[in-house]
Structure 1
């Protein structure tokens, strides 16, 4: 096996062993057997299952030099015979999950993980790759920690051209309220999607919620409600290069005060946000958050033609499910091109 070195723009250096076959583990955390408390009928499970199936389907088209492995909760129906080229390990219990994931990480050369950022889940899963010294096909642990902290990343972007909503810790706002005529958003510091994200018309409503709700104020933030068009950008970061995969229209509804993500139209906002603008947003994020790599998603609100960064997702998002319908190229194959510079 002959080694070759990959250098990326951030001066991290990685040595990759060139083998006749590269073994790649691809798994989605919720559907891997790690979350037995969730029913397989849970909407989060369904979304996770659709994402991993889309990835594995793209994996079937990879050149023969790649052998794919995945981990599946045994409660899901068996994969169709089309997926027979992929090595599938079925997990039957939480203890069994630990055995299976440890064996897979020990046996594989690289891994691509889908996991929620809440409760540091994504960062912890990526750290396991470092512990096993295998190639991480996603963002670095440090970039994940910075990007998924909804109080921290606005501070990092404060001196860049990118705009973010004013962001306050819930405890600080409660002690010294800032008044917003547009209304208020409360959400977890590291939440995924619209989970526990609320819109409040008045400061009095928000105050009542923060004082009465069974939440930890230290783990919540307050922002002004930004009116506009909710859009997400799906991108692939390949070393010094960024490729915009799709510019998506998000569909968000409100039930009482709770916001809900009800769907995404993949590439449905390509007329609202030019590719050049989307590319500039990602390039600016790379400057401020070195270590972002592989597939990422960025949620924005387009307010009077001005994009506001709402969320940075350093992972595959649900829009990946629709990429096969709009792209001629295989996005998973693009990720594995030799020019890729991988974060660790």
Structure 2
């Protein structure tokens, strides 16, 4: 297989994508491995996590739709054999392979990588899953369309990310290690309660809300054996939001300013995410864009699509976390922008990349609950 840099470059029909290419039956293709970990077989020997499965399927289908619509792209993907095989839309070029129980998905993916030219992986940061997969991409002779391994490792840790951002003068929500947290000292530190979440968690999975330090202390005492995995934050009131951006070599381009649909389930004391309103907060574009540039400069290994969760209160934007991968808001991007976001991601290979001037910012609601 020839290395990316040795292949002749070409300009796509859209004029946006400059990609390396090869010839197949007289036509030019770029073969891309697209993997959404949960639906692609990452849990083939375990029960599929219901809370993340629907989000994963929606993101996978949006990616297959968008990348499949690029004329010169051929998609390779895998799917958990317990799920229906993804169906390509008319004229889309796609090959999909089932991952069965008692097989090793990483071995299958490694083989498919050797047959592709580029790859984009969506996976949870939990337990280093996304980091390890990204390392595999970096050792293969392909182009990684996502963030590099170092930035994935950093942003997978909410504590480490918060410290790095604070050193650059970027406002974050204070975070504390759960296994060294002193409820007695913190009793009066939060008027609005506390949030407990995994340091490397994805979404609202295993994220808890406690109204006061007494309730928090009870949970801490009941979960002493797993506290090293968790962090504690004072609950920050305000507007739950996010922005979707493209990054490359310390630069950022904001695509969408989103409102997050997050609520507190007080019956079970946890936070629940049910979707977003993509580009419903376009009025915050200038502030988000300035913040995006500072984040990209602080973590220059961020590349491709990146999602940043924030809370806005009294004109202050608090960073909650950085997601070094495709996020749920991607699902509504094409409809909001009236432009194929896959072409923008691929367009980042151009040295002179810039966003098209005619992108729209229509508000689009994304539902993730059935």
| TM-score, normalised by the number of residues in structure 1 | 0.88
CA distance in 1 between counterparts of 2:173 and 2:220 reads 20
CA distance in 1 between counterparts of 2:172 and 2:313 reads 11
Residue 218 of structure 2 is aligned with which of 208, 214, 239? 208
Question: CA, structure 1 residues 240+159, in 2 after alignment: closer, same or farther (shift >3 Å)?
Answer: closer
Q: CA deviation at 1:91?
A: 1.7
Match in the other structure for 2:368: none
- Higher mean displacement: 178-187 or 311-320: 178-187
- Higher mean displacement: 191-200 or 137-146: 191-200
CA distance in 1 between counterparts of 2:287 and 2:8 reads 33
Match in the other structure for 1:79: 86
Answer whether contact 2:147 2:303 (CA < 8 A) is retained.
yes
Match in the other structure for 1:159: 167
RMSD: 2.5
Query: Residue deviations 1:45-78, cap 9 Å, x none?
Result: 12111111101111122132x3221111222223
Match in the other structure for 2:364: none
CA distance in 1 between counterparts of 2:350 and 2:200 reads 32
Match in the other structure for 1:194: 204
Query: Partner of 1:300: helix, strand, or coil?
Result: strand
- Higher mean displacement: 157-166 or 298-307: 157-166
Answer whether contact 1:235 1:242 (CA < 8 A) is retained.
yes
Indicate yes or no: 2:245 matched with 1:258: no
Match in the other structure for 1:339: 350
Query: Residue deviations 1:178-202, cap 9 Å, x none?
Result: 2322321111111111112122221
Q: CA deviation at 1:232?
A: 0.9
Answer whether contact 2:249 2:302 (CA < 8 A) is retained.
no
- Higher mean displacement: 198-207 or 178-187: 178-187
Match in the other structure for 1:300: 310
Residue 118 of structure 1 is aligned with which of 114, 126, 131? 126
Residue 75 of structure 2 is aligned with which of 60, 68, 71? 68
Match in the other structure for 1:218: 228
Match in the other structure for 1:3: 6
Query: Partner of 1:153: helix, strand, or coil?
Result: helix
Indicate yes or no: 2:338 matched with 1:328: yes
Match in the other structure for 1:139: 147
Q: CA deviation at 1:98?
A: 3.7
- Higher mean displacement: 228-237 or 162-171: 162-171
Answer whether contact 1:51 1:318 (CA < 8 A) is retained.
yes
Question: CA, structure 1 residues 133+4, in 2 after alignment: closer, same or farther (shift >3 Å)?
Answer: closer
Question: CA, structure 1 residues 25+188, in 2 after alignment: closer, same or farther (shift >3 Å)?
Answer: same
Answer whether contact 1:33 1:94 (CA < 8 A) is retained.
no
Question: CA, structure 1 residues 327+118, in 2 after alignment: closer, same or farther (shift >3 Å)?
Answer: same
- Higher mean displacement: 228-237 or 19-28: 19-28
Match in the other structure for 1:11: none
Residue 244 of structure 1 is aligned with which of 239, 250, 254? 254
Question: CA, structure 1 residues 106+341, in 2 after alignment: closer, same or farther (shift >3 Å)?
Answer: farther
Indicate yes or no: 2:98 matched with 1:90: yes
Question: CA, structure 1 residues 227+35, in 2 after alignment: closer, same or farther (shift >3 Å)?
Answer: same
Answer whether contact 1:194 1:261 (CA < 8 A) is retained.
yes
Q: CA deviation at 1:214?
A: 5.7
Question: CA, structure 1 residues 61+321, in 2 after alignment: closer, same or farther (shift >3 Å)?
Answer: same
Question: CA, structure 1 residues 150+87, in 2 after alignment: closer, same or farther (shift >3 Å)?
Answer: same
Answer whether contact 1:4 1:18 (CA < 8 A) is retained.
yes
Match in the other structure for 1:180: 190
Number of residue pairs aligned between Structure 1 and Structure 2:
330
| TM-score, normalised by the number of residues in structure 2 | 0.82
CA distance in 2 between counterparts of 1:109 and 1:132 reads 10
Answer whether contact 1:238 1:340 (CA < 8 A) is retained.
no
Answer whether contact 1:40 1:75 (CA < 8 A) is retained.
no
Indicate yes or no: 2:287 matched with 1:284: no
